[in-house]
Amino acid sequence: MSAPRRSTSLRDSFSDSERMEGTGSWDDALDWFKLEVQHPASSSVSHHANYKCLLEAERVLVEGRGVVLVNTDGAGTLLVTNFRLIFLSEGTENIIALGTIPLATIEKFSKMVVKNQSAPRHSERTPSQRFLQVIGKDMRIIVFGFRPKTKQRRAIYDGLLRCTKPSRLWDLYAFSCGPFKFTNANPKVRLLNEYFRLLGKGICRASMDMIDNGSYTMSNELWRICNVNSNYLMCPSYPFALIVPKSISDEEVIQASNFRSKGRLPIVSWCHPESGAVLARSSQPLVGLMMNMRSNTDEKLVAELCPQLGDEKKGQRKLYIADARPRKNALANVAMGGGSESSSNYLQSEVVFFGIDNIHAMRESLSRLRDYLDAHGTTSSDGTLSLLRHGGWTWGGGNLSNMSASVSTLGDSGWLIHVQSVLAGSAWIAARVALESASVLVHCSDGWDRTSQLVALANLLLDPYYRTFTGFQALIEKDWLAFGHPFAERGGMPTVSGSSDRSDLCRQSSVGSFSLPPMRPSSGSFSPPTPSSSHAQNQQSPIFLQWIDCVSQLLRMYPFAFEFSSAFLVDLLDCVLSCRFGNFFCNSEKERQQVGISEACGCLWAYLADLRSSEGRSHVHCNPFYSPLKHNGPLLPPAAALAPTLWPQFHLRWACPSEAQAGELEAQCRIMSIKFSKLQEAKEGAEKKAKETEIVVESLSAELRNEKQRSSSAMALAKRASMETAAIKRAIQSLGCKVHYASGGDTTVDIETSPVKISQKSVFSPFTRESVGIVQHEDKSDLSVSISVAADDVVSNNPFGRVCDTLCPLRTRDGGCRWPDAGCAQLASQFIGVKADYEALDSLSIYEGYFKTMEGGK
């Protein structure tokens, strides 16, 4: 069974206005039945305040309902805000990522009309379908379909026309939003801190006061920080501070700038901390039409970039002058006064050409790659996606990455060949510096496109610091932002002057009606016809995007060397292209300072750091394989390893989302890392609980020891009480009494003598400090006295006790009894004296006689 036939792309349809026989049509791709009026189609903003997807200061300008995203056949609501084109799913109003794109990321857009073929059995004329194609700088091509006989497409198109490319810089969303919570410190301070690190003065920290008073001009044995460009008069596209040879004066720096294009003289970008080799950058020399112009100051400055070698290698250091352009392009620049150096004019030098094409070749190459991927991806924008989905036919097995290793399979785009050229040139530069201790001067024509790519990538290979989050930020801010890569021109954004080229954005809206041919070639995708424009008029080019692509290739080759992941690079690129933050506005440091970008707009680096702070090392921006000790030196990839492949996370995320996911190994490692983090947290929790339990056990042990001490003390007291009891017993027995101890703790003293009337003064409590004396009467002739022992802290109301206390001459102030050393012991002789009286009254009960006396008294 043969595969279903695919319809021809709309790009081919534009050139053919005749009806052709065939079965494929846009009706196959769009199910208009799902758009039956559930919500009235309207371009007015009805309830935009209820949209939860809006960012800070984001406002809805135009709203269209019942719109179809052709790439996925999904229906929903299309919004144009002051920041994004947002596509929300029908009913749930969830953001559909493919159909949502920042306005600044839109490269171009156009209206299209497709005239459907009427079936032979139907006499009614089928209305034409209306579409809006949006091409993004982030490799996506999306198409929206609108219901016939509505004005929604026109409203959306007009909204995009007004907002996509504002004529003034401050009309961008970043100025409306402001810093918000992502405040931006002055980038000059960060640049000086990086300079201090390169000069070995990392202990010093820059400040705005240091910049204001000019006290940042530090130096070491070879290099110094020069402030000759602090007012940007010498070179408007260079930073305010420059690293130059220490032996070159400010006057010579100014003179040398006159010999270089745009005043971009040779400046140190990176210096080796041990060998003294440097990586410098500049623009092309102005050698003139006859190629015989020279500058003694420029030659002296370049010679000072090669200090004498150390003691181990005596002699002059080798100098390589790396021209990023093809040799023929360098010669062509002679007609405009430019050109390249002659090795005979520079001591110990060698000129090398890398053959990297210009910005226009890069722009066209990426455009061809985007069309190729859109044509062969699983979310094609040409309307034939329904055939692929419902027919079960997938191109190439639906796996672009299987063929991406081969450069030739990507058609004639040439993108991977350009990436390979940049990688090879950077690796060559790094090898010369690291292996030969040679100095390298890199330049192209103006020194801000290919030069930035090569120098920044060589820095990344040479210095492990630049492979961390903080170092990567410092690298971009130094070699891309401070050294004047024209981000506004390359991104098609307005500059400080307010000029912007709107002609490249707006395309012919009236393209006429045409029929859709039945078949489509195997390559290509539709795009509206565009008027030809000269290269000089279009300065847009994906130079920075290409450099990030090169970084992703190094990350693939050295997965243990980088702290950040491929997802971090994708989010970084998205932030740069979206213009949500102001870090990459304008064309130079001077322009950003004039506008006050750091104070007026949010900071991209603060936003990315805030994302990472939520999850720590388990965040998707962090490389789970990162091992700083494994690659703590330069990375020198061999030539055979410099075979680039498609960057799936960026190139394929829209055309083939299933292939854009992270590698299986990386995904498993990240899952394991998350599990490990959870186990680590559980371990820390268990250790914390164990520590708390240990503390509780120690506390209980201490209490047990205290209890043992108290028990020992109690036993000692009991022993002492036993000894005192024995002494009391002996003392009482010495009085002729018998002492009986009851099991309840009471003590009974029996006095065997004749009963006699005893005054209350003779009754005493012989043992306790506060006791209760009870006289008991029995039928026997013996006199029984019951003595109950009470606690010391119990205050007795017994009159006998008070008498005892009164008679005791040794009584202490607190009233405690000290028997047998007390005064009651002195009464012992009196008991012997009255014994005869007790015997005479033997028949008389003391208890009974006492109460008779009491009754007679009454």
Cα–Cα nearest to 844, from 751, 774, 786, 781:
781
444 is catalytic: yes
Contact 441, 320 (CB under 8 A): yes
Partnered with residue 775 across adjacent β-strands are: 785
Helices (H) and strands (E) in the chain, counts: 26, 18
3-state secondary structure of 101: strand
E-strand stretches of 349-389? 349-353
CA dist., res. 715 & res. 625, Å (int): 68
Give me the sheet containing 737-741, strands edge to edge. Answer: 737-741, 747-751, 783-788, 772-776
CA dist., res. 148 & res. 138, Å (int): 30
3-state secondary structure of 105: helix
CA dist., res. 410 & res. 427, Å (int): 24
Contact 83, 180 (CB under 8 A): no
DSSP secondary structure, 412-462, as one string = T--HHHHHHHHHHHHHHHHHHHHHH--EEEEE-SSSSSHHHHHHHHHHHHH
Partnered with residue 111 across adjacent β-strands are: 132
CB burial string 192-212: b at 16+ within 10 A, e below: bbbbbbbbebeeeebeeebbe
Q: Which two tokens stand for residue 176?
A: 């409306």
The residues near 2 (Cβ < 8 Å, ≥ 6 apart) are none
Contact 623, 562 (CB under 8 A): yes
From 444, 656, 804, 824, active-site residue: 444
C-alpha to C-alpha distances, 47 to 42, 59, 82, 160, 585, nearest whole angstrom: 12, 11, 16, 20, 33
Helix ranges restricted to H, 614-663? 648-651
3-state secondary structure of 690: helix
CA triple 188-194-199, angle to 5 deg:
125
CA dist., res. 104 & res. 780, Å (int): 123
Contact 115, 136 (CB under 8 A): no
Cα–Cα nearest to 494, from 571, 595, 347, 398:
595
CA dist., res. 848 & res. 473, Å (int): 112
The Cα diameter of the chain in Å comes to 161
CA dist., res. 591 & res. 594, Å (int): 5
The C-alpha R_g of the chain, in whole angstroms, comes to: 49
The residues near 504 (Cβ < 8 Å, ≥ 6 apart) are 108, 492, 533, 537, 538, 540
DSSP secondary structure, 160-172, as one string = HHHHSS-SSGGGS
Q: Which two tokens stand for residue 788?
A: 């109950």
Phi, psi dihedral angles at 97 (to 5 degrees): -60, -40
Contact 798, 805 (CB under 8 A): no
DSSP secondary structure, 661-685, as one string = SPPHHHHHHHHHHHHHHHHHHHHHH
Contact 267, 281 (CB under 8 A): yes
Contact 139, 98 (CB under 8 A): no
Measured in whole angstroms, how far is the alpha carbon of residue 776 from the centre of its chain? 93
- Tell me the one-letter amino acid at 173: Y
CA dist., res. 611 & res. 594, Å (int): 30
Bridge pairing between strands 141-146 and 129-136: antiparallel
Among all residues, which ones are annotated catalytic? 444
